[in-house]
C-alpha cells in the first residue's frame, strides 16, 4: 500500500492514512461510507465521541468481515454530556462494539479537566487496562504538550491537528516539537484550500503540479501532508475520490 504504516513511540503501528467520520452525521449513510472506505483499501477509521457516529462506524467495521487486528480504530474523548474519561471510553467501546481502540485521544486541551496532568494520567490508566493500545491528544499546542510531558509516564503517541498549506506556518512549531519528542502528527482538513477556500494562492501551484503529474489537485495536497511526515485524516462519500486519496501515497515528495 502506498500509505505505509508508521511505528509509534510505544511500538504500535498506525496506518498513515485514515478515513474520518467527522462530517458524516448519523444513520445508514455513515455506515455505507465507512464500509465503502474499507472496501477500497482504508484500514484506519477515525471517529470521536462528539461525532455521534461511533455506533455506525463500529457496525461498518464489523460488517466488513475484517479481523479486529486488521482494522485500526481511533476515537476521542470529547467531554460530551459532561461525562468523565472512564465513562466515555466505556461508552465508546460499547458503541463501536470492540473491547479496545487502537488510539484514544483527548480531543482538545480544554477538555483536559481538572488539568492536563490529571486527565493524562487517566488516559495512561486506560492504556494500562488495555482499553486503548495507544493514547494521544488532538489540537494541543507546544505549551500544552510541554505541560503534559512534564509529568507523563507515557508519552502521547500522536497529536492530531489542523494541517494544510494555509496554516502550516502557524503549525510548524508544533510539528517540529512533536518530531523532537517522537510524537506522530496526524493532519485533519488537509483539503480545505480546495473545498472551503478556492481561489487562494495555493491553487496555482497545486493545479500546476497536478497537471504536470497527471493527478487530481486533492492528491497533491495529500501528498504534501505525507511529505511533511504526517498521517492524513480525510473523507469523501465518493468511491473514485477515495481511490485517488489512496493513490496519492504513490506521489514522490521531491516536487512538493
Query: Is the model's pLDDT at 83 over the cut of 70?
Result: yes
pLDDT band at 255 (very low <50, low <70, confident <90, very high): very low
- Output the CA–CA distances (angstroms, integers) from residue 234 to 44, 45, 89, 185, 241, in the order listed: 11, 10, 23, 14, 11
CA distance 13 to 27: 31
Q: What is the mean pLDDT of residues 54-80?
A: 95
pLDDT bucket at 253, cuts 50 / 70 / 90: low
For the question of residue 51 being annotated catalytic, the response is: yes
What average pLDDT score do residues 194-219 get? Answer: 93
Taking the C-alpha atoms of residue 113 and residue 121, their distance in angstroms, rounded to an integer, is 11
Mean pLDDT of 109-113: 97
Residue 231: phi and psi, rounded to 5, are: -90, 130
Under the banding of pLDDT at 50, 70 and 90, the label for residue 252 is: low
Provide the whole-model pTM: 0.95
State the average pLDDT over residues 35-47.
Answer: 97
Determine whether the annotation assigns residue 107 to a binding site. Answer: yes
Give the tens place of pLDDT for each residue, 234-246: 999 999 999 999 9
Confidence of residue 1 (pLDDT cuts 50, 70, 90): low
pLDDT at 182: 98
Does the structure show a pLDDT above 60 at 183? yes
Mean pLDDT confidence for 200-229: 95
Mean pLDDT to the nearest integer, 180-207? 94
Catalytic residue among 51, 77, 104, 188: 51
Per residue, the 3-state secondary structure of the chain, as one string, reads CCCCEEECCCCCEEECEEEECCCCCCCHHHHHHHHHHHHHCCCEEECCHHHCCHHHHHHHHHHCCCCHHHCEEEEEECCHHHCCHHHHHHHHHHHHCCCCEEEEEECCHHHCCCCHHHHHHHHHHHHHHCCEEEEEEECCCHHHHHHHHHHCCCCCCEEEEECCHHHHHHHHHHHHHHHHHCCEEEEECCCHHHHCCCCCCCHHHHHHHHHHHCCCHHHHHHHHHHHCCCEEEECCCCHHHHHHHHHHHHCCCCCC
Amino acid at each position: 500500500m502506498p500509505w505505509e504504516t508508521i511505528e509509534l513511540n510505544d511500538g504500535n503501528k498506525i496506518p498513515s492514512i485514515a478515513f474520518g467520520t467527522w462530517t458524516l452525521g448519523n444513520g445508514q449513510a455513515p455506515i455505507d461510507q465507512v464500509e465503502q472506505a474499507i472496501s477500497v483499501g482504508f484500514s484506519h477509521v477515525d471517529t470521536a465521541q462528539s461525532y455521534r457516529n461511533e455506533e455506525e462506524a463500529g457496525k461498518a467495521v464489523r460488517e466488513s468481515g475484517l479481523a479486529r487486528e486488521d482494522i485500526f480504530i481511533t476515537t476521542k474523548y470529547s467531554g460530551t454530556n459532561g461525562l468523565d474519561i472512564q465513562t466515555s471510553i466505556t461508552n465508546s467501546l460499547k458503541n463501536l462494539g470492540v473491547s479496545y481502540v487502537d488510539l484514544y485521544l483527548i480531543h482538545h486541551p480544554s477538555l483536559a479537566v481538572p488539568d492536563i496532568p490529571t486527565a493524562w494520567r487517566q488516559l495512561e490508566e486506560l492504556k494500562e487496562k488495555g482499553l486503548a493500545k495507544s493514547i494521544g491528544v488532538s489540537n494541543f499546542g507546544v505549551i500544552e504538550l510541554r505541560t503534559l510531558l512534564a509529568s507523563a509516564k507515557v508519552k502521547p503517541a500522536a497529536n492530531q491537528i489542523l494541517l494544510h498549506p494555509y496554516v502550516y506556518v502557524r503549525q510548524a512549531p508544533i510539528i517540529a516539537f512533536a518530531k523532537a519528542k517522537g510524537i506522530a502528527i496526524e493532519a485533519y482538513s488537509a483539503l480545505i484550500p480546495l473545498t472551503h477556500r478556492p481561489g487562494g494562492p495555493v491553487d496555482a501551484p497545486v493545479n500546476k503540479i497536478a497537471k504536470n503529474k497527471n493527478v487530481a489537485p486533492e492528491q497533491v495536497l495529500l501528498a504534501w501532508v505525507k511529505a511533511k511526515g504526517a498521517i492524513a485524516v480525510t473523507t469523501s462519500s465518493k468511491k473514485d475520490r477515495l481511490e485517488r486519496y489512496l493513490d496519492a501515497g504513490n506521489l514522490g515528495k521531491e516536487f512538493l
